[in-house]
Amino acid sequence: MKLLITGGAGFIGSNFIHYILEKYPDYEVVNLDKLTYAGNLDNLKDIEDDARYKFVKGDIADEKVVGEVVKGVDAIVNFAAESHVDRSLYDPGSFIKTDVYGTWVLLEAVKKFGIKKYLQVSTDEVYGDIETGFSKESDYLNPSSPYSASKAGGDMQVLASRRTFDLPVLITRSTNNYGPFHYPEKIIPLFITNCLEDKELPVYDGGTQIRDWLYVLDNCRGIDTVLHKGTLGEIYNIGANQEPEITNLELTKTILKLTGKDESLMKHVTGLRPGHDQRYAVDCSKIKALGWKSEVSFEEGIKKTVLWFKNNEEWWKKIKNGEYLEYYKKHYKS
């Protein structure tokens, strides 16, 4: 099987490529990535000479490039996206271009070149926040940020392509991931690396919010399950269903403890995330019926993740002293 993986130089995409090449010795992978600030070929250094792997720099919104890379491909897994809620407040247009228009370009290629399967990697954030209970795949979409609204727009294109053109599509909607190669702008890698550098941890809006932290390998296994066993046209939630649920404040205290730092590094801030979603939680019974379940507990996953960041200082320091620093100065210090 030959897979086109888009956005494979980012956090989840690069973990997925490693996972696929290891699990399926006879699979080939083409990775199409624009290499935005979040795309990082350092994530794939160990496999760059693997004969089963090929990297192509390009934009999913570019029909010409997409038309070239889909040749001979059996399935597409689309990870490519602008993915950070905070950045979507400053530059929503780039989110719409990639997450909506780019998705449409890929679907057009599925139609034109008769690709056998297309899997859209989406997010639980399309449901909006949910005070109690669990979002189901059939729930209406109620996104809060330009990021989640763009992802919802992408999902709608995928679903419409099924109904109108009978395209062979699937959607996964996972909860927040964490693990190796996580760009240090999202809360877990930002707070771990800030602790390691003795920098402040900006806790937004009292830290009462809840996310259902899913270890990235569990998501990779989930996407693999849906790709191979899912019913075309269906959506599958993927979540850890953590018990008990963890607030951002509890998460922050766990990270402080695991890095040996004290709570004086915590800095409460407000106003940085208007429209801040309070809680996400998803019902995973559909994917569980395909035989998937999350295997890594939060306790285990967060320890592994802290260790990975401790052992890969060069990887994250390059980012934090470069692009991330520029972004931070522009939006938080001016």
Q: Which residues are catalytic?
A: 124-125, 147
CA angle 222, 225, 227 (to 5 degrees): 110
How far is 79 from 122, CA to CA, in rounded Å?
Answer: 8
From the list 9, 106, 126, 319, which residue makes contact with ligand NAD (rule: CB under 6 A)? 9
Residue 20 binds ligand NAD (CB under 6 A): no
From the list 20, 66, 80, 210, which residue makes contact with ligand NAD (rule: CB under 6 A)? 80
Residue 73 binds ligand NAD (CB under 6 A): no
109 vs 251 by CB, closer to ligand TYD? 251
The residues with which 214 forms a beta bridge, in sequence order, are 177
The residues with which 268 forms a beta bridge, in sequence order, are 203
Per DSSP, the residues of 103-158 read HHHHHHHHHHHT-SEEEEEEEGGGG---SSS-B-TTSPP---SHHHHHHHHHHHHH
Residue 21, H or E segment: helix 11-23
For the chain, the straight-line distance linking the first and the last C-alpha, in angstroms and rounded, comes to 50
- Chain Cα centroid distance, residue 146: 16
Q: Are strands 210-211 and 246-247 parallel, antiparallel or unpaired?
A: antiparallel
Residue 11 binds ligand NAD (CB under 6 A): yes
Tell which positions 145-204 bind ligand NAD, by CB under 6 A: 151, 174, 176-177, 183
Nearest distance from residue 260's CB to ligand NAD, in Å? 26
Q: Is 181 left (phi over 0), alpha (psi -120 to 50) or beta?
A: left
Q: How many CA atoms lie within 13 A of 202 on its CB side?
A: 11
193 binds, among ligand NAD, ligand TYD, none (CB under 5 to 8 A by kind): none
Residue of minimal CB distance from ligand NAD? Answer: 10
Nearest distance from residue 178's CB to ligand TYD, in Å? 9
128 binds, among ligand TYD, ligand NAD, none (CB under 5 to 8 A by kind): none
Residue 34 binds ligand NAD (CB under 6 A): yes
203 binds, among ligand TYD, ligand NAD, none (CB under 5 to 8 A by kind): ligand TYD
Residue ranges that bind ligand TYD, judged by CB under 6 A: 85, 176, 186-187, 190, 202-204, 209, 211, 248, 273
Q: For the beta carbon of residue 169, count every other beta carbon within 10 angstroms.
A: 26
79 binds, among ligand TYD, ligand NAD, none (CB under 5 to 8 A by kind): ligand NAD
Strand ranges, E, within 159-227:
169-174, 177-178, 201-204, 210-211, 214-215
Residue 13 binds ligand NAD (CB under 6 A): yes
Residue 33 binds ligand NAD (CB under 6 A): yes
Nearest distance from residue 221's CB to ligand TYD, in Å? 21
Q: Does residue 99 contact residue 107 with C-beta atoms inside 8 Å? A: no
43 vs 267 by CB, closer to ligand NAD? 43
136 binds, among ligand NAD, ligand TYD, none (CB under 5 to 8 A by kind): none
110 vs 203 by CB, closer to ligand TYD? 203
Three-class DSSP category at 81: coil
30 vs 240 by CB, closer to ligand TYD? 240
Three-class DSSP category at 28: strand
Nearest distance from residue 249's CB to ligand TYD, in Å? 9
Q: Write out the residues near ligand NAD by the rule CB under 6 A.
A: 6-7, 9-13, 32-36, 38-39, 59-61, 79-83, 98, 102, 121, 123, 151, 174, 176-177, 183
